[in-house]
């Protein structure tokens, strides 16, 4: 099991950042390098508790699909998306939001497991963890830009 933890500080209200983080259109904008598109479930706007979205994007030269469900949501503080169908053995992304002095502190905690035993672990060490970290950093950069523009 691999865990990626990131912290992003955004000069915008917590509610703005929370809503931007669950906005399918903003996610597609941040995932443009992988040509990721929402193809089923909620495909535009805000995703909510117990709703699903299926993504299709090009990663490592292959088009892959990944279906996520929002399994927990505490408005403006926390939400979780978990894989229902996809290439991972398990995939859980927790999103945390705190506000201090007009700054929202957004924390990502992504925990996942790769399939294929030692081969999956090796792929993770060599490529996947770096790829997912870069993917999240780009997503968070776009979330920051979008959220701070709304002021």
**What average pLDDT score do residues 35-46 get?**
96
**pLDDT range class, residue 11, cuts 50, 70, 90:** very high
Q: Which two tokens stand for residue 95?
A: 């999103």
pLDDT tens digits along 93-129: 999 999 999 999 999 999 999 999 999 999 999 999 9
**pLDDT surpasses 70 at 88:** yes
Please report the pLDDT score of residue 33 as a whole number.
Answer: 86
Q: Answer whether 110's CB lies under 8 Å from 92's CB.
A: yes
Please report the pLDDT score of residue 151 as a whole number.
Answer: 64
Task: Provide the sign of the torsion angle of the four alpha carbons 128, 123, 39, 51, taken in this order.
Answer: negative
Q: Answer whether 88's CB lies under 8 Å from 112's CB.
A: yes
pTM of the prediction? 0.94
Please report the pLDDT score of residue 150 as a whole number.
Answer: 77
**pLDDT range class, residue 32, cuts 50, 70, 90:** confident
In the sheet with 90-100, reading across from the earlier edge strand, the strands are 2-10, 103-113, 90-100, 78-85, 62-74, 52-59, 37-41
pLDDT tens digits along 51-69: 999 999 999 999 999 999 9
121, burial (CB in 10 Å: exposed 0-12, middle 13-18, buried 19+):
middle
Please report the pLDDT score of residue 81 as a whole number.
Answer: 98
**pLDDT surpasses 90 at 50:** yes
């Amino acid at each position: 099991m691999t865990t990626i933890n990131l912290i992003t500080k955004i000069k915008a209200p917590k509610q703005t950042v929370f809503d931007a983080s669950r906005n399918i259109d903003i996610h597609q904008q941040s995932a443009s390098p992988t040509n990721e598109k929402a193809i089923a479930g909620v495909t535009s706007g805000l995703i909510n508790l117990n709703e699903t979205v299926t993504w299709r994007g090009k990663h490592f030269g292959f088009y892959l699909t990944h279906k996520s469900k929002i399994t927990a949501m505490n408005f403006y503080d926390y939400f979780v998306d978990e894989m229902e169908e996809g290439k991972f053995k398990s995939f859980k992304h927790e999103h945390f939001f705190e506000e201090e002095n007009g700054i929202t502190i957004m924390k990502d905690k992504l925990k996942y497991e790769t399939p294929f035993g030692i081969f999956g672990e090796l792929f993770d060490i060599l490529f996947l963890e770096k790829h997912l970290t870069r993917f999240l950093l780009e997503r968070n950069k776009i979330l920051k830009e979008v959220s701070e523009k709304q002021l």
